[in-house]
Chains A and B, each alone.
Chain A
């Protein structure tokens, strides 16, 4: 493995909790948007 690829892999490992958190937040935000777009099921 090239040193650069190894460093990238280690860096990705270190920042994994942060990327996981960001991804979850993005999904949550998207979900909220989608929910708001749904019509009311009762008048």
Chain B
């Protein structure tokens, strides 16, 4: 008999999520934030749970981490308030949801949940699985060997030496929100000067020196990366004299460079430890698409699932207790706006030069809009980027992503080595005609490309091919459909609210 498992990821931490898996089929996966309308909401809510339970009744609830190991780490870190808060123990916390009453709750470990989410959705027969995030219970970096149905840990590194904490701490230093705005730091990096000299040393070397960052060879029997400073409380104190806008851009560029150097070292280690030619990259750090593009040449194939962060771990932990190989088909696993995709309406709107929204079908599972909750327009012409940035009320330097038909991607973009397609926007590619498409090209000439094929999303493919037939241009702009500071649109009411708020047409299912 097939087991139905309700996987819970990211809850009581940041960005809670739920998945429902029966046998190997992922029936539902969604984020709490989309239902509560609180961005990165760490708390589960009844609406999300009820939506998930439409697809089946779970035999077991699988929680993505071990609360007791986590409390041990919190005690060691001095987070006494969290240690004493027993209301956040999963079994006690879940009692507030009567829908889940009587269902047994099982725990996994944080990094196993990440690794399983990546490996069992990859379709690889074997792979090296690298998980990098801020903190699990204790673990901050793990390497796993995936072989058939088995996943074995071959390397682990623990708190407080954490590459994820470093990136988040620097995000906070730039005046952004840690654990949320890391993607803005990544975007800012392109505007910085990586050769900047500060106190007689390149800025990136200054960062490494000040934070005491060292990298060691595997043979030295040390953590591969070590930090003298514990960055759990951030590093707002670093370089207090760097305050101008250009200083912050330079700091962002130096941070990104340090991150890429360390990521390269970690990948070298995974090559030493696991002989597979396939790589699975997971953890919140796997969302750094600029850095991801630098490491694809080390392996024949690289898989990063569309939701590699904590929220995505709800799939891995559910897999653990369903004991089946996952049948990964699509990232469209969330709330369903039923009906047909509004191909014709959107086509007419973008042909008329308008910016319009699409809210149709099941919501994407992951932080990126992939066509079902998307704000789109024609990418050509000089004014589109500013117009869209004005609508979304965000920093002017940030570009938008293109969605392009898979067969045309190599004509318009130079993809990273060994990357033929990028359906989940996990890599950046050099645009071959940046002057023709200013809205989707970053200042460094790259774009975070989403490739679309007929199998992945037939309706979106039809929209793109119709647009190409009319204009000769095979791509459209794609940015998430959300009001500033709010999560991505989930249901019909959100779409109406977005439309009223920004005076932009949003086409829902017809």
A-side interface residues toward B, CB under 8 Å?
31, 34-36, 38-43
Contact = CB atoms under 8 A, between A and B. Distances in A.
B392 interface: no
Q: Interface residues of B toward A: which range?
A: 20 to 34
A40 B178 CA distance: 10
A31 to B, nearest CB: 5
A39 B233 contact: yes
7 contacts: A34-B237, A40-B77, A41-B179, A41-B233, A42-B134, A42-B232, A43-B42
B165 A42 contact: yes
Nearest to B168: A41
A43 B234 contact: no
Contacts of A35: 233, 237
Interface in B183-229: none
Which among A34, A41, A42 has the highest number of chain B CB atoms within 10 Å?
A42
B232 to A, nearest CB: 5
Interface string B165-189: 1001100100000110000000000
A22 to B, nearest CB: 20
A38 B235 CA distance: 9
B237 A41 contact: no
A41 B134 CA distance: 10
B172 A43 contact: no
Contact of B232 (A31, A34, A40): A40
A31 B232 CA distance: 15
Contact of A42 (B135, B236, B237): B135
Given A34-B237, A35-B237, A36-B233, A41 B79 contact: no
Contact of B165 (A31, A36, A39, A41): A41
B234 A38 contact: yes
Interface in B7-21: 12-14
A42 B169 CA distance: 10
Interface string B145-166: 0000000000000000000010
B497 interface: no
Interface in B448-474: none
A36 B328 CA distance: 45
Contact of A31 (B178, B231, B237): B237
A36 B237 CA distance: 11
A36 to B, nearest CB: 7
A38 B79 contact: no
A35 B173 CA distance: 13
Nearest to A41: B178
Contacts of B165: 41-42
B90 to A, nearest CB: 14
Given A41-B231, A42-B232, 20 more contacts: A31-B237, A34-B236, A36-B233, A38-B236, A40-B77, A40-B79, A40-B233, A41-B165, A41-B168, A41-B169, A41-B172, A41-B232, A41-B234, A42-B165, A42-B178, A42-B179, A43-B12, A43-B13, A43-B14, A43-B82
B106 to A, nearest CB: 21
